[in-house]
């Protein structure tokens, strides 16, 4: 054995897991294997930077539990280590009467999840809080915040190495085999023999699980989220974070306005099926990954069910005019010239074989490994709770 525990993936979930394990087992050798030259290079480094409050998630789900616990753990961690964040609050807006029942359901759900200070807003109060907003009713969620998750990752990495852990960058995991008393992980550089492996590989968590388990019943489907940044002249139009009422059948929140922790305001992200797992540009294409998604029986059913929404997202991705139109539902004064293209992110969304985009977080536990199979939003907010849950499950 040249390690006790190996964690595949240096995004926020892998780092939070390694951090908790390094606190639990100060005498054990913990290594993080990351294929890129830097940490937080994929989902974690390209997200909206929102600290979610737990408003949306089904009470009792892993998302609800880990988001609320993770929220509190994240704020404690940031306070302890002086990491900048801001609880600026957000507003969810019903654009017309037809969205009010769904808005009310969200309000009730938020209360059930224990959120404090939720406020139902009528038209006049909405205008008071967000003067440029169009909407008939809204909810104010004071607990929502903003942060740069890369700063959290940098501190987690510092804590892991200070506790004796090792972070190996440029280290791609290529195959995994169980041995008599552990796991052998072959990388592009050498190999790691350890007692326990944790798979936190994000967009490739399905592929890494397959290296260990063979065929699995879920597949990661990549959905690109494209953003625009508001020009400084338009920034006065947005005071909080502004969200539409989400489509309950779809696991994404709809394009919205987000104030960024480091300054500026972003609009987006949309959710476009990506032709490559790390396909940040519209033209990025990987033959194997594209057909792998397309031929997955579950995804075919998703396409059949949501083809209209999917085509709408693709159209909006190519047409700035359509993207602007979606944003104008929230703020009619927004114009195309207020929007400057900004870097995109790609979400890892697990899809099962029978045709469901998995709504909840999913962990698969084996004797020698734990696979984090589905950790989409709000997994950055929830990361310290997910990491603690995993660390509690590991017994060496
Ligand atoms: C557009 C967008 C907006 C979002 N907004 C928010 C938000 O506002 N708030 C929130 O809470 N969440 C948000 N999320 C979700 C959140 O960012 C993710 O859930 C979270 O970052 C997942 O972290 P992770 O560590 O699982 O994955 P990642 O950050 O993707 O990390 C996985 C790592 O594994 C590495 N890896 C993969 N395969 C291998 C291999 N074979 N060998 C070695 N390394 C490997 C990758 O290089 C990568 O660094 C958003 C996500 C996106 C994409």
**If we measure between CA atoms, which residue out of 228, 220, 260, 188 comes closest to residue 372?**
220
Give distance in angstroms: CA of 33 to centre of ligand 1.
Answer: 15
User: Is 60 among the domain residues?
Assistant: no
| 310-339 burial: b if 16+ Cβ within 10 Å, else e | beebeebbeeeeebbebbebbbeebeeebb
User: Is 259 among the domain residues?
Assistant: yes
DSSP codes, 333-345? T--GGGEEEEEEE
* CATH number for the domain that contains residue 24: 3.50.50.60
Co-location of 133 and 109 in the same domain: yes
Interacting residues of 14 by C-beta distance below 8 A, sequence separation 6+: 7, 8, 32, 34, 198, 200, 201
Co-location of 161 and 38 in the same domain: yes
User: Is 79 among the domain residues?
Assistant: no
d(CA 136, CA 319): 27
Q: Which helix (H) or strand (E) holds 155?
A: helix 149-162
**pLDDT of the residue at 250:** 76
Co-location of 123 and 255 in the same domain: no
Q: What percent of the chain has pLDDT over 70?
A: 100
User: Is 97 among the domain residues?
Assistant: yes
**pLDDT of the residue at 190:** 93
**pLDDT of the residue at 127:** 93
Provide the domain count of the chain: 3
Co-location of 180 and 38 in the same domain: yes
**pLDDT of the residue at 356:** 87
Give distance in angstroms: CA of 15 to centre of ligand 1.
Answer: 11
Co-location of 338 and 386 in the same domain: no
Q: What is the pLDDT of residues 259-302, one digit of tens each?
A: 999 999 999 999 999 999 999 999 999 999 999 999 999 999 99
**If we measure between CA atoms, which residue out of 3, 5, 1 comes closest to residue 391?**
5
User: Is 246 among the domain residues?
Assistant: no
Co-location of 39 and 188 in the same domain: yes
At residue 249 the predicted structure's pLDDT band, cuts being 50, 70 and 90, is confident
Q: What is the pLDDT of residues 26-66, one digit of tens each?
A: 999 999 999 999 999 999 999 999 999 999 999 999 999 99
Co-location of 230 and 332 in the same domain: yes
Pocket of ligand 1 (CB under 6 A): 8-14, 33-36, 41-44, 46-50, 52, 172-173, 200-204, 208, 225, 269, 345-347, 375-381
pTM (predicted TM-score) = 0.98
**If we measure between CA atoms, which residue out of 386, 395, 392, 381 comes closest to residue 78?**
381
At residue 355 the predicted structure's pLDDT band, cuts being 50, 70 and 90, is confident
Give distance in angstroms: CA of 101 to centre of ligand 1.
Answer: 33
User: Is 73 among the domain residues?
Assistant: no
Atom 27, ligand 1: residue with shortest CA distance: 202
Domain containing residue 225: 219-238+251-352
Ligand 1 pocket: which of 20, 43, 145, 383 to mutate (most atoms within 8 A of CB): 43
Work out the average pLDDT over 140-145: 97
Co-location of 231 and 344 in the same domain: yes
Co-location of 279 and 331 in the same domain: yes
Co-location of 232 and 327 in the same domain: yes
Work out the average pLDDT over 181-202: 97
Give distance in angstroms: CA of 345 to centre of ligand 1.
Answer: 9
**pLDDT of the residue at 388:** 98
Co-location of 290 and 302 in the same domain: yes
User: Is 62 among the domain residues?
Assistant: no
Burial of 159 (0-12, 13-18, 19+ CB in 10 A): middle
User: Is 343 among the domain residues?
Assistant: yes
Co-location of 270 and 321 in the same domain: yes
């Amino acid at each position: 054995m040249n390690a006790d525990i190996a964690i595949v993936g240096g995004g926020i979930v892998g780092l939070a897991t390694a951090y908790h394990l390094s606190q639990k087992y100060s005498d054990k050798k913990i290594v993080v294997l990351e294929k890129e030259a830097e940490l937080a290079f994929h989902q974690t480094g390209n997200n909206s930077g929102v600290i979610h409050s737990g408003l949306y998630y089904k009470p009792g789900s892993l998302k609800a539990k880990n988001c609320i616990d993770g929220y509190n753990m994240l704020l404690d961690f940031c306070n302890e280590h002086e990491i900048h964040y801001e609880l600026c609050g957000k507003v969810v807006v019903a654009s017309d009467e037809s969205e009010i029942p769904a808005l009310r359901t969200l309000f009730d759900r938020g209360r059930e999840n224990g959120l404090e200070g939720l406020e139902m807003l009528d038209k006049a109060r909405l205008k008071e809080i967000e003067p440029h907003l169009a909407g008939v009713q809204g909810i104010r969620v004071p607990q929502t915040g903003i942060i740069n998750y890369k700063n959290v990752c940098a501190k987690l990495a510092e804590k892991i190495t200070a506790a004796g852990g090792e972070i190996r960058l440029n280290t791609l995991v290529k195959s995994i085999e169980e041995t008599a008393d552990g796991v052998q992980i072959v990388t592009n550089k050498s190999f790691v023999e350890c007692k326990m492996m944790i798979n936190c590989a994000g967009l490739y968590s399905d592929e890494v699980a397959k290296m260990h388990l063979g065929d699995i019943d879920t597949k990661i489907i990549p959905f690109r989220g494209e953003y625009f940044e508001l020009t400084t002249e338009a920034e006065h139009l947005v005071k909080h974070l502004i969200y539409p009422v989400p489509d309950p059948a779809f696991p994404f929140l709809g394009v919205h306005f987000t104030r960024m922790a480091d300054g500026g305001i972003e609009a987006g992200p949309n959710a476009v099926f990506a032709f490559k797992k790390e396909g940040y540009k519209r033209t990025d294409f990987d033959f194997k990954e594209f057909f792998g998604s397309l031929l997955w029986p579950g995804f075919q059913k998703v396409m059949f069910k949501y083809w209209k929404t999917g085509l709408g997202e693709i159209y909006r991705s190519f047409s700035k005019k359509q993207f602007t139109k979606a944003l104008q539902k929230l703020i009619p004064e927004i114009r195309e010239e207020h929007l400057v293209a900004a870097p995109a992110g790609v979400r890892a969304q697990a899809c099962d074989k029978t045709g469901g985009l998995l709504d909840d977080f999913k962990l698969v536990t084996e004797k020698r490994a734990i696979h984090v199979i589905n950790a989409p939003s709000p997994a950055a907010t929830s990361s310290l709770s997910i990491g603690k849950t995993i660390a509690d499950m590991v017994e060496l």
